[in-house]
Amino acid sequence: MINSLAYASLERVSTNLQSFYQLRLNRIHKFKAKIHIQSDVGPFEIKTVTDVEELKEALTLRYEVFHREMQGKKAPTGVDVDEFDFDCDHLIIKEKRSNRIVGTYRLNCSLFTDEFYSGKEFMMNGILAQPGVKLELGRACIHKDFRRGVLISLLWRGIAEYMAASDSKMLFGCATVKTDDPRDAALLTRYFEEEGRIVPGLRTRPTLAFTMPMLNHFLEEVRSPLTETQRAEAEELLPPLCRAYLKAGAYIGGEPAWDREFQCIDFLTILHREDLNRTLWKRFKLDSAES
């Protein structure tokens, strides 16, 4: 019989082989950065990934957050990687003292590709037809020991710098809310409507595969105007990253997509550069006459 120690060792070998296969399959061994940004802020460095080893570390952090924390997977190490990662840049935050990556964000710019992760979940034709360079944000995560407001602020600084470098006019991406309850989804949709965050020119719908069952039923049940209790309940559901999008001036595409794999819902968020919160832009000294 194989004892538990030997089994654990075999499991690690299997996981490492699977990770290696996933990295090769998605061409990560050939990865090259598209746009370089770098700045130091106190004990942290903000930059885009410049080599394969940095990218592997960022993908390992994503595995820790999205698979071990969110899905309860037991494998101690692994990578979170898909077919979009090769064509993207990857924003990272490094703690300079330990030289480890503590935060990351995937940046998919229309200068380099016309394939976007959001297109799997939402019907994107109207958004992609908008003029100018577009930048998709995704796979944002922060190490559990560093989940403070300062790290989100640093990620936004990096995004602002990347927008300026790429001359991006629009940001979009999926803002994840950790619930798969259709009533929660309906409550948040009504909340965004009342906040003026859903506008006709930017409306989208989930693809059939990501349409949430029973959502229409609860949209009929949850009617405007929301009560104070319902508004408080909706605001309590919003995770910090989603709050950051809203604070920056984001619009919401409409009803959310339902991600069965991760048991969550995703709202498509859209930000025009000219509509971004002016204090955010000026804070990072990237203001200009056109922005």
Q: Which of 206, 175, 177 is nearest to 264 (CA)?
A: 177
Name the one residue in this structure whose structure tokens are 């922005």.
291
For the segment 200-232, what is each residue's pLDDT rounded down to a tens digit? 999 999 999 999 999 999 999 999 899 999 999
Is 290 a member of any domain?
Answer: no
Residue 12 pLDDT greater than 70, yes or no: no
Please give the average per-residue pLDDT across 259-279, as a whole number. Answer: 87
Residue 7 pLDDT greater than 60, yes or no: no
pLDDT level of residue 290 (50, 70, 90 thresholds): very low
Is 288 a member of any domain?
Answer: no
Is 208 a member of any domain?
Answer: yes
Residue 8 pLDDT greater than 80, yes or no: no
Is 291 a member of any domain?
Answer: no
Is 195 a member of any domain?
Answer: yes
Please give the average per-residue pLDDT across 240-254, as a whole number. Answer: 89
Domain housing 148: 4-283
Domain count, the chain: 1
Residue 14 pLDDT greater than 80, yes or no: no
Residue 263 pLDDT greater than 50, yes or no: yes
pLDDT level of residue 285 (50, 70, 90 thresholds): low
* pTM (predicted TM-score): 0.87
Please give the average per-residue pLDDT across 18-45, as a whole number. Answer: 93
Residue 226 near residue 193 (C-beta atoms within 8 A): no
Instruction: Please indicate whether residue 33 or residue 241 has the higher confidence score (pLDDT).
Output: 33
Please give the average per-residue pLDDT across 107-133, as a whole number. Answer: 96
Round to whole Å and give the CA distance between 254 and 282: 29
Is 289 a member of any domain?
Answer: no
Please give the average per-residue pLDDT across 7-21, as a whole number. Answer: 61
Round to whole Å and give the CA distance between 153 and 280: 9
Question: DSSP string covering 222-278, please?
Answer: S-SSPPHHHHHHHHHH--HHHHHHHHTT-EE-SSPEEETTTTEEEEEEEEEGGGS-H
CATH number for the domain spanning 40: value is: 3.40.630.30
Token pair listed for 227: 């009560």
